[in-house]
Chains A and B, each alone.
Chain A
Amino acid sequence: MTYLEYKVRAVPRGFKKLFYLNWPIILLLCAATAIGVIMLTSIAGISWDPWASAQLKRFFVGFILMISIAMVPIWFWKSMSVLAYITSLGLLVLVEFFGSTGMGAQRWLDLGFITLQPSEMAKITLIMVLAFYYDWLPDQNVSKPQWIIAPLALIFLPFFLVLQQPDLGTALLIVLGGGAMMFLAGIHWGYFGAALSLSVGGALIILQSRGKDWQLLNDYQYRRIDTFIDPSSDPLGAGYHITQSKIALGSGGWTGRGFGQGTQSRLNFLPEKHTDFIFTTLAEEFGFIGGISLLAIYALIVAFSIIAAISNKDRFSSLLIYGVTVTFFLYFAVNMAMVMGLAPVVGVPLPLVSYGGSSLLVLMAAFGLLQSAHVHKPRGVI
């Protein structure tokens, strides 16, 4: 399929496209970024350096990238889907050999002018290629087993490569994102029921095997599970992050300690306070009000995106928008669940707020795709 097949009666041209952007989403993205910049300033001891100014610069770059992608017709991006997917797979293989190590995992690829995290890219390109696949696949074949194999393989390849880094968190997000795409495409419920029962059964077997002859995981992995279930069992060891982050959140109360007054983060009780655990500082300094505001912004972004997806009659565009939304949702949902002690500690940043270039740029690019799909959506079906 090529973009020529698109039957669109009226597509805005030139600068007119700017008016057809989904502005509520853009404004909400800016709001979330603003909160992030404020928090980075606070954590640096009320200073622009070293994080806030850099984050702002990256956001501008990301913003321009988003608008630029949005200006290009969605059918062009659709035609690039497979290529993008293959490229990101290639980068994942490259990072295996040439990647720089950080935080105990090989994640970064230094391209000279920018350090790239191919696993972040893979999330989006997987969405693209799955949207492409299900757009192409006739609807009646969706649930047929032989047509299930290809998307499973598409999901498994990046999952496996990311797991090798090793980055269990991102790998699981890739599976969840891909699974969501298959669900949206309309695969029969039975498959999900089977997958769910398989994973639950597997988890039970793994837990059962503990201390037996056929123990499936290493002892330290079981201990991690223990700490997740009860962080207080090891408050200074593995449970330290969760305990300290809950203390920070809880001590914020309704309105928080005030800007720059968060003791938990300022006194270094919290790890990764400017990246993965930034939400704890927000919650400590601005309390429940601050935390719920950010959550509301995220929820609105998800809501506006789903509306945009529903209002888009083009199957590829709609699937793509849903995919971007799910990816975005998984970012903040997993991160927040982690700092609130609802999920184990995995390295997932808080979108737009955490300090970090790669994920911000990829996310802005993804929203660029979302905007492009929105701007170039079919207005009136032929």
Chain B
Amino acid sequence: MADRIQLNQKSYAKLSRRGVILGSLQTAFIATLAFRMRKLQVEDASNYRLLADENRINIRLIAPSRGEVYDRNGKIIARNEQSFRITIVKEDAGDIEQALFSLSNLIKISQSDAKRIIEETKRSAPFLPVTVRDQLSFDEIARIAANTPNLPGVSVEQGLSRVYPSFESYAHVVGYVGPVSDSDLQGGNETNPLLKIPRFQVGKVGVEKHYEDILRGSAGVMKVEVNALGRVMRNLSRKEGKPGNNIQLTVDTALQSYIQARLGSESASAVVINCKNGEILAIASSPSYDPNKFVKGISYSDFNELRDNELRPLASKTVQDAYPPGSTFKIVTALSALEANIIGPKDTFTCSGKMEISNRFFHCWKNSGHGTMNLEKSLSESCDVYFYELALKVGIEQINKMATKLGLGVKHDVPMSAITKGLMPSREWKLNYRKQEWLVGDTVNASIGQGYVLSSPLQLAVMAARLASGKKVNPILTKSINGQNVHNLSNIEDLDIDKSYLKIIRKALFEASNDRRGTAYGSRVIDNTYRMAGKTGTSQVRNITDAERENGVTKNEDLPWKRRDHGLFINFAPYNKPEIAVAVVVEHGGAGSKSAAPIARDITLQALFKGNPPLEVYPAKDRSAVFERQNKLGEVLKELEIFRENKV
């Protein structure tokens, strides 16, 4: 027994030893745990706290309201309107197909929409709303609101959408907004999170695009706490964004709408500029399109129709298209000759209807010739041969210099899209781009605004304005941003052209409009206070062959539309105290005196009278036609105004 106890004693000691060893191991492990806990919770706590907040706090952006665009009188051009969309939440709706069926009794849901909605609800988390339809009308919203109890999971969400109440009038000026595309994300915008908000819209063309940064504003931030699945548990904070700045343009909506209506379905464009300070009062291109369609998402068929229309409604013809300026360019040739002291006002040339230069005949538009011409008469009657003579003496360099002074071949800085520089050719230009030597014939062609010379209607209007005021006015479209004037218009420098020369040209243009033999006599104004001074232009888009000249030139009306001449007209008024300058181009409209000049007269008078002019200012024989037109356009504009006030 003692033996046994002895043994027990020995085994007991061993067991205790092993027990202490095991206990020590356990203690060591517990200490490790404690140190680990300290490391995680004390040393690295701030790191992990940050990670936890990242986990739970989701930052959502609130789209700011876009700045609005006004005209010079405070009339709205682009604004934001509450728009409604309906969404469906799967977990509240239960059977999606059943819910869509109930909805389709109230609003129209297309097959493809229904398919998309079912797909989306399958893919996304059950608590996330899926858009059923966007841009609903008030009627539809009212119908849904009345049936809310029967439509679980369906809710109406509000947002802002862009509205252009003037419809087609400003499509080319203000442009439109649309969903963010890949190209919008380039050029420093890649990281702007605002652009990644679903359904966010950015300016696509025109003022909307040019002033995107000013109009956009900055995003608001909403912090929400989300759970691991992304469901919003509660709102933590909400900071509203800064709305975009409002922009006031120099345009006058009444005039702009009038011009748009006056141009009608012609492929034409017109620019009206305040000739003292360059403010653009109207800048219209026709035919136009409804920018609201683009905001809502234009249908393929509508878009294709716009794109394929040969009158090019999508083109902003006032700034983006350049035409041979035709006879309107004679102003440049005449001024350059005066400045180069090649001719005086009294000097004359004889026009025989054609002129031979380096073995080639250059013709005057008047086959029989103008006879003896001085500068004033040559402009007012638009004699070509006279300018051929000048061209030979002046040379292209002088002409080019003068054109630049008058704003041709210069890219004017207005906030519209795709602004052309036009083309004012020179020796270097031809050598560089055509790889050919400059020929005398090129100068001769250029002297009457044909050949290589190309100008946009805006450039022509600027030329008219500079001529009228003698000041170096630049076209301006933006009056103020957020109430702050953008341009200082008090100190506009004088044009670097002798005033007496300008006076001679102005007089010549007056004669063109008011002398019985002037090319624009048909479109004169008979009230002395409002008399116009203008220059017609007819630019060829084809060459007239010698054979044709023998047999009689084909009449413009008999040609296919695409091959007819462009009709141009530039003018300023009133002659005694110029206020506005106007340029009108009618594509393939035939002679400028017949196509562009009558339109320019109506526009000029409309701008001067700020509304319909009294019939007495028109020559007696035009009055009945003008009266009829005034009534017709009045109807159109009234309708547009009603639209503007009520619908959209």
A-side contacts of B38, CB under 8 Å: 288, 292
* Partner pick for B19 among A247, A309, A329, CB 8 A cutoff: A309
- Distance, CA A252 to CA B34, complexed state (A): 15
B-side contacts of A325, CB under 8 Å: 26
Asked whether A160 is an interface residue with its Cβ less than 8 Å from the other chain, the reply is no
Asked whether A295 is an interface residue with its Cβ less than 8 Å from the other chain, the reply is yes
* Partner pick for B52 among A138, A263, A288, A381, CB 8 A cutoff: A263
Give residues of chain A (153-185) contacting chain B, Cβ–Cβ below 8 Å.
180, 183-185
Q: Is the CB of B56 within 8 A of A340?
A: no
* Partner pick for B51 among A180, A251, A315, A337, CB 8 A cutoff: A251
Asked whether B368 is an interface residue with its Cβ less than 8 Å from the other chain, the reply is no
* Partner pick for B33 among A138, A284, A340, CB 8 A cutoff: A340
Give residues of chain A (301-320) contacting chain B, Cβ–Cβ below 8 Å.
302-303, 306, 309-310, 313, 315, 318-319
A-side contacts of B616, CB under 8 Å: none
Q: Is the CB of A249 within 8 A of B48?
A: yes
Assess A295 versus B15: contact at CB under 8 Å? Given A250-B48, A267-B227. Answer: no
Q: Is the CB of A315 within 8 A of B42?
A: no
Asked whether B109 is an interface residue with its Cβ less than 8 Å from the other chain, the reply is no
Give residues of chain B (3-23) contacting chain A, Cβ–Cβ below 8 Å.
5, 7-8, 10-12, 14-16, 18-20, 22-23
Asked whether B551 is an interface residue with its Cβ less than 8 Å from the other chain, the reply is no
Shortest Cβ distance from residue A299 to the other chain B in the assembled complex, whole angstroms: 5
- Distance, CA A264 to CA B37, complexed state (A): 17
- Distance, CA A333 to CA B7, complexed state (A): 35
- Distance, CA A248 to CA B51, complexed state (A): 9
Asked whether A74 is an interface residue with its Cβ less than 8 Å from the other chain, the reply is no
Assess A250 versus B33: contact at CB under 8 Å? Given A139-B10, A299-B27, A302-B23. Answer: no
Asked whether B145 is an interface residue with its Cβ less than 8 Å from the other chain, the reply is no
Shortest Cβ distance from residue A159 to the other chain B in the assembled complex, whole angstroms: 20
Shortest Cβ distance from residue B552 to the other chain A in the assembled complex, whole angstroms: 84
B-side contacts of A322, CB under 8 Å: 15, 19, 22
Shortest Cβ distance from residue B32 to the other chain A in the assembled complex, whole angstroms: 8
- Distance, CA A248 to CA B47, complexed state (A): 11
Asked whether A36 is an interface residue with its Cβ less than 8 Å from the other chain, the reply is no
* Partner pick for A183 among B11, B22, B27, B30, CB 8 A cutoff: B22
B-side contacts of A252, CB under 8 Å: 41, 45
Question: How many A residues face the partner with a CB closer than 8 A?
Answer: 50
> Chain B contact residues (Cβ within 8 angstroms of A): what range?
35 or more
Q: Is the CB of A295 within 8 A of B30?
A: yes
Chief secondary structure at chain A's binding surface: helix
Assess A340 versus B14: contact at CB under 8 Å? Given A253-B45, A268-B227, A333-B29. Answer: no
- Distance, CA A248 to CA B550, complexed state (A): 97
- Distance, CA A138 to CA B226, complexed state (A): 64
Q: Is the CB of A318 within 8 A of B15?
A: yes
- Distance, CA A318 to CA B15, complexed state (A): 8
Shortest Cβ distance from residue A178 to the other chain B in the assembled complex, whole angstroms: 13
Chain A positions 82 through 107: 1 when the CB is less than 8 Å from some CB of chain B, otherwise 0: 00000000000000000000000000
Asked whether A355 is an interface residue with its Cβ less than 8 Å from the other chain, the reply is no
Chain A positions 226 through 259: 1 when the CB is less than 8 Å from some CB of chain B, otherwise 0: 0000000000000000001011111111100000
Q: Is the CB of B33 within 8 A of A333?
A: yes
Assess A264 versus B16: contact at CB under 8 Å? Given A249-B41, A283-B37, A333-B33. Answer: no
* Partner pick for B233 among A267, A309, A310, A333, CB 8 A cutoff: A267
A-side contacts of B16, CB under 8 Å: 310
Give residues of chain B (472-522) contacting chain A, Cβ–Cβ below 8 Å.
none
Asked whether A186 is an interface residue with its Cβ less than 8 Å from the other chain, the reply is yes
Asked whether B49 is an interface residue with its Cβ less than 8 Å from the other chain, the reply is yes
Assess A267 versus B30: contact at CB under 8 Å? Given A306-B23, A340-B40, A342-B36. Answer: no
- Distance, CA A24 to CA B10, complexed state (A): 30
* Partner pick for A247 among B15, B20, B51, CB 8 A cutoff: B51
* Partner pick for B22 among A303, A326, A340, CB 8 A cutoff: A326
Q: Is the CB of A251 within 8 A of B52?
A: yes
Shortest Cβ distance from residue A134 to the other chain B in the assembled complex, whole angstroms: 9
Shortest Cβ distance from residue B498 to the other chain A in the assembled complex, whole angstroms: 78
Closest A residue, CB atoms, query B48? A250
Asked whether B547 is an interface residue with its Cβ less than 8 Å from the other chain, the reply is no
Q: Is the CB of A295 within 8 A of B14?
A: no
Chain A positions 35 through 46: 1 when the CB is less than 8 Å from some CB of chain B, otherwise 0: 000000000000
Asked whether B229 is an interface residue with its Cβ less than 8 Å from the other chain, the reply is yes
Chain B positions 215 through 247: 1 when the CB is less than 8 Å from some CB of chain A, otherwise 0: 000000000011111000100000000000000
Q: Is the CB of B7 within 8 A of A139?
A: yes
Q: Is the CB of A315 within 8 A of B15?
A: yes
Q: Is the CB of B30 within 8 A of A315?
A: no
B-side contacts of A63, CB under 8 Å: none
Q: Is the CB of A139 within 8 A of B14?
A: yes
B-side contacts of A249, CB under 8 Å: 37, 40-41, 48
With A244-B55, A268-B229, A310-B19 already in contact, 14 other A-B pairs whose C-beta atoms are closer than 8 Å: A249-B40, A250-B52, A251-B52, A253-B42, A254-B45, A264-B52, A264-B56, A268-B228, A287-B41, A288-B41, A315-B12, A333-B33, A381-B5, A381-B8
Residues of B near any A CB (own CB < 8 A): 5, 7-8, 10-12, 14-16, 18-20, 22-23, 26-27, 29-30, 32-34, 36-38, 40-42, 44-49, 51-53, 55-56, 225-229, 233
Give me 21 A-to-B residue pairs in the complex whose CB atoms sit less than 8 angstroms apart, sorted by A's number.
Answer: A138-B7, A183-B18, A183-B22, A246-B40, A249-B48, A252-B45, A253-B45, A267-B56, A267-B227, A268-B228, A268-B229, A288-B37, A288-B41, A295-B34, A306-B20, A319-B15, A326-B26, A340-B36, A342-B33, A342-B36, A381-B5
Residues of A near any B CB (own CB < 8 A): 138-139, 180, 183-186, 244, 246-254, 263-264, 267-269, 283-284, 287-288, 291-292, 295, 298-299, 302-303, 306, 309-310, 313, 315, 318-319, 322, 325-326, 329, 333, 336-337, 340, 342, 381
Q: Which 6 residue pairs are nearest across A and B when measured between Cβ atoms?
A: A250-B48, A251-B52, A267-B227, A253-B45, A288-B41, A268-B228
